[in-house]
Amino acid sequence: MCFISRHVRFDEATYPFAQLSKSVVSVPDSRSGQFMRDVTTSLPIFMTSLTNISESSPVDSTPASNSSLVDTSLMDSTSSNSEDRLAPIVEQQGSSLINRDPMMTRIKMGIYKPKTYMAVVSDVEPLTIHEAMAIPSWKQAVNDELQALIRNRTWDLVSVPVNQSLVGCKWLFKIKRNSDGSVARNKVHLVAQGFSQAPGLDYHETFSPVVKINTVDVNNAFLNGDLVEDIYMKQPLGFEVVDEHGQSLACRLNKAIYGLKQAPRAWFEKLRNFLVHQLHFTPSRADASIFYKHTDARSVYFLVYVDDIIVTGGDCDEIDAIISCLDRQFSLKDLGELSFFLGLEVVRHQDRMHVSQKKYARELLERANMLNAKSVDTPMISSPTLTSLTGVPLSDGTLYRQVVGNLQYLCLTRLDLSFAVNKGTIDHGLLFQASGLSLTGFSDADWASSLEDRKSTFGFCIYLGDNLVGWMSKKQSVVSRSTTEAEYRSLDNATSEMVWFQSLLIEIGFTPSGIPIIWCDNTSAVSLAANPVLHAKVKHVELDIHFVREKVLSNQLCVNFVPGRDQVADVLTKPLTVGDFSRCRDHLNVVFASCLFSDTGEGMLV
């Protein structure tokens, strides 16, 4: 008889018992012989050495059960017949049984389908202030937020001026979690409804730089930003007060509260002035969110993303002093060594570091109802090519647009998802290790790949030593008339990024070793970079030609040819086979976190 489940096949005629039960069942002597004859007749593949098993099995010392469950004398007649049939499946190794044909489970095959219906959700985010005030932990968080607003003199309660529009406000509740999903703290923010602000009247500039990718979190960061414009806001729901005549009052804002259009910029200007004038940092010209400070001993670097900050460098005493000064000025939380930052999970081991977004990716799959989706070896088929008219239009494309936006952030550590997306590699991430300071790039393009407008897709990746530090996968803005033109436009974009990295490294005190090299798999594009060839065919892209050629002729850049099979940027421009996709991904240092502890250098670019 054969029983079949989805992932396991049990065959009574061949599948042996894994082990004997340690509990002995007393069987009358008159029936035990017949019982074992029936068993050995129907199950010839049963066990290895019966003598060893009977010796190792617990035996009842009473006269009624002076033998084990198996009587070896009754097996002599069948042992010779069953021994030949036992050999192909079970072999003796000591007293243990070794199964040569282990069952295949979903976990062994990399298929994870958690039963979400068994999960119990105990942490709920309130939707209204009334729900929050009914929960002690959230009530405390609301009071803390209100006290912070009052302590920072965020507003003054005044009568509403005539013809003055009021900006609304709203309570927002969010559970902040650790990288393992546990609750870190309950966050409450009173935010202004900035969508009602009029540009040029209620605000002017809104730009606030952030870093392109020992951590510090500033408490109520935006409340430190000074507000220049006169803005009146409604009082917080649940905490309204009136004047002595019973007239409603409004909040005249002194600080750039969360939600205002200019709030991020106001906070950044306040932080920037403090870093430059008080702590003597120098703002980077290449990236406005990076600050650096060189001393006789070591250098310290300061990276800002709104109210989340990374402070790094070789002078530990200087770092501690900087954090203390920031705490006295702005009130912050020292989160210690970098481990979880803006959804990025960071694991360090010796001179290596692995950066992934496993928690973020799992939440994205759950939001898209794809947590139980089955993964495949390669995430995208090479044919047929899809168009906007393929398939049935979505009735509501909101979720699709949200997922696409989330995937753009996921590509911070998963550049292999830039062109095609795969669910089965949640644990993958970027691996960094100590290496040299040489700059190397790979540039590629897929000519006229879009059937909609015949525009090409280009991609490039930049290495600092063995570490991947920059990449892009994007459709070109214009139609290229040839493969050479498409490849050269991609080369132009890669050169621009290479020049930016070079200037940033020099500015913060690191000089790249040697001349930067970009590898391209198109011989005509490589020739154009150094020689005025094919002039008649590429006159319309002359600006791009002059930019790249100027760098090559001034010995600031070298463009070399690489065979297509060694072009690692292929994964950013076109669907690949399983082997090519895995090879490119490994060269891009997108690997499992376990490679962090490997001494073989598996997954590293060589």
Report CA torsion sign: 208, 214, 217, 219: negative
Q: Which of 60-64, 237-241, 282-286 has the highest mean pLDDT?
A: 282-286
Segment 8-24 shows an average pLDDT of 52
Indicate if the pLDDT at residue 498 is higher than 90.
Answer: yes
CA distance 60 to 67: 8
The side-by-side arrangement of strands in the sheet containing 517-520 is 467-475, 457-464, 439-446, 517-520, 558-561
531 is written with which tokens? 């020689």
Choice among 35-44, 151-160, 398-407, 455-464 with the minimum mean pLDDT: 35-44
Residue 178 tokens read as 């650790």
pLDDT at 599: 58
- Name the pLDDT band for 500 (thresholds 50, 70, 90): very high
Q: Mind listing the domains of the chain with CATH numbers?
A: 2-99 (no CATH), 129-340 (no CATH), 394-597 (3.30.420.10)
Taking only the tens place, the pLDDT of each residue in 40-82 is: 444 444 343 333 444 444 444 444 444 444 444 444 444 444 4
pLDDT of residue 442: 96
Average pLDDT over residues 210-215: 52
Pairing of strands 517-520, 558-561: parallel
Average pLDDT over residues 569-596: 84
Distances (CA, A) of 25 to 28, 30, 403, 446: 10, 15, 60, 72
Mean pLDDT of 322-332: 88
Q: What is the mean pLDDT of residues 272-299?
A: 89
Look at residue 27 in the predicted model and tell me its pLDDT: 44
Q: Which SS3 state, helix, strand or coil, does residue 437 take?
A: coil
Out of 257-271, 412-426, 559-573, which region has the weakest mean confidence (pLDDT)? 412-426
Contact 476, 460 (CB under 8 A): no
Is 485 a residue whose pLDDT tops 60? yes
Within 10 angstroms of residue 528's Cβ, the number of other Cβ atoms is: 28
For position 243, what pLDDT does the model report?
85
CB atoms within 10 A of CB 396: 7
Share of the chain above pLDDT 70, in %: 70
pLDDT score for 54? 41
* Of 358, 371, 498, residue with least CA distance to 442: 498
Handedness of CA 97, 103, 105, 109 (dihedral sign): positive
Encoded tokens for 255: 């600080």
Instruction: pLDDT band for 448, please (50, 70, 90 cuts).
Output: confident
Q: Which residues of 498-519 are buried (b: 16+ CB within 10 A; e: fewer)?
A: bbebbebbeebeeebeeebbbb
